Amino acid sequence: MAVEGLRRIDSTKIEIPRGYKPGMRTNGIIYVDRTLEKDLDIRSVEQVANVATLPGIVGPSMAMPDIHAGYGFAIGGVAAFDLKQGIISPGGVGYDINCGVRLVRSGLRKDKAIPKMRDIVEALYNRIPAGVGSKGTLRLNAQDQKRVLLKGAGWAVEQGFGSQEDLEHTESGGCMVGADPEIISRKAYDRGRAQQGTLGSGNHFTEVQFVEEIFDEKAASSLGLFKGDITVMIHTGSRGFGHQVCTDFLDVMQKAAHKYNIQLPDRELACAPFNSPEARDYIAAMKAAANYAWANRQCITHWVIESFLKVFNTDPKALGMGLVYDVAHNIAKVEEHDINGRKTKVIVHRKGSTRAFPPGHPEVPDAYKHIGQPVIIPGDMGRASYVLLGTEKGMKEALGSTCHGAGRVMSRHQAIKRARGRSIRREMEDMGVTVRYTGRSTLAEEMPEAYKNVTDVVDIVHNAGLSKKVARLKPLGVIKG
């Protein structure tokens, strides 16, 4: 729908003027072309404007082209706040803290995998617990749980789930320093105890793909991606543990906003000053949940590789499987950015958006310093996913951020209603995609037409210069919760 009061800046972005609503301290920017502008809804636009009213915001309140309404911040939202006058808000991180995605490459060719696709999908489904409230094979005692929260993916590697190289190819090395297990609630511990190493439900998945098209041969080669090779993408987060951490702190932040006299246009933007005790506690708990998520994806990666080895009855070297990269989608981080010509530390909220740092940045792994940080963008389960790279322009213009997926155009309820009387599984098989799922309504909720076309979304960030396309991946088999 068209939203009144917005101004188109160029072919890839529109502006929400500072006077769009009372209290805005800065303008809003939404990266969207004329094709996807029709999918903008008033609520998500209002959410971008609302974020612009928060104390200490630095630069514009932004949203990526996969924007849709979320809790507090729009999904696809990006915003930075000054460390002295600014705030931190759980609504700018999300319930599924460090929901993220990782990509595993292989030397297995498409023609060798397709005849065994049903076996591959079955092996993955049997090895990786999926579904609402799913429980894993790992049983963590109290000390194990604390070590997970402190070490993240490093804990999983210590247990034999992967290698040091995996950590080098994971954002932040798979661990945020400064987590505090002692401030985590008993309920969060209880919810997380049996969910380490599980996929969950909703839009989370494990997907077998092949490299369908290469846009940058040199960069793709550096990433170990070659046309016709099989890849595996894993999308999940901190499960019930992270959800509970967010829930626990929303009440804390509501009280903090009142205590520090922060005027909120929406109670879902509950927040606290960055230097307050409430903010320090939330950040330490958020880091713990982020580490839980990185450990979760690391364990699942190990079982993905095990499943392939079992199906093909071979050794790891023969399959050539290894981690390309792992990125977080729902997180807040202290980063240094060029603000008004000065290098300044700010707290960057990315809610359903991906970090996309340029070549040479100190946080880009050594193996990718010359090309920039890999950006992994999953689409819906029927069309495609993309690999991109961070750019210098994206660093300057959008705090080193880009989109995180396709973005919904239907609510889950709408999708279920639209799917009534249809067999989505059969439709997927007609598209050449083998699907295995747990939840009765999962396929309806996640059917391709419930999402924007990821190609349209990726073209916007590519054309805007926020990140550049390297490869397109086509799905062959999907595991859903």
Q: Which residues are catalytic?
A: 404
Q: Are 376 and 406 in contact (CB under 8 A)?
A: no
179 DSSP 8-state letter: -
The Cβ of residue 366 has, within 10 Å, a number of other Cβ atoms equal to: 7
Copy the structure tokens of residue 166.
Answer: 């995996």
**Close Cβ partners of 296 (under 8 Å, ≥ 6 residues apart):** 195, 196, 197, 198, 236, 237, 238, 239
Copy the structure tokens of residue 66.
Answer: 């996969």
The Cβ of residue 212 has, within 10 Å, a number of other Cβ atoms equal to: 15
**Residue that is written with structure tokens 């690999």 in the block:** 387
The span from the CA of 296 to the CA of 289, in Å, is 10
Q: Cα separations (Å) of 267 from 400, 436, 445?
A: 28, 39, 28
The span from the CA of 40 to the CA of 284, in Å, is 35
The span from the CA of 135 to the CA of 138, in Å, is 8
What would you report as the CA-atom Rg of the chain, rounded to the nearest whole angstrom? 21
Q: Which residues pair with 321 in a beta bridge?
A: none
Q: Are 270 and 257 in contact (CB under 8 A)?
A: yes
Copy the structure tokens of residue 254.
Answer: 């509501």
**Close Cβ partners of 243 (under 8 Å, ≥ 6 residues apart):** 95, 96, 191
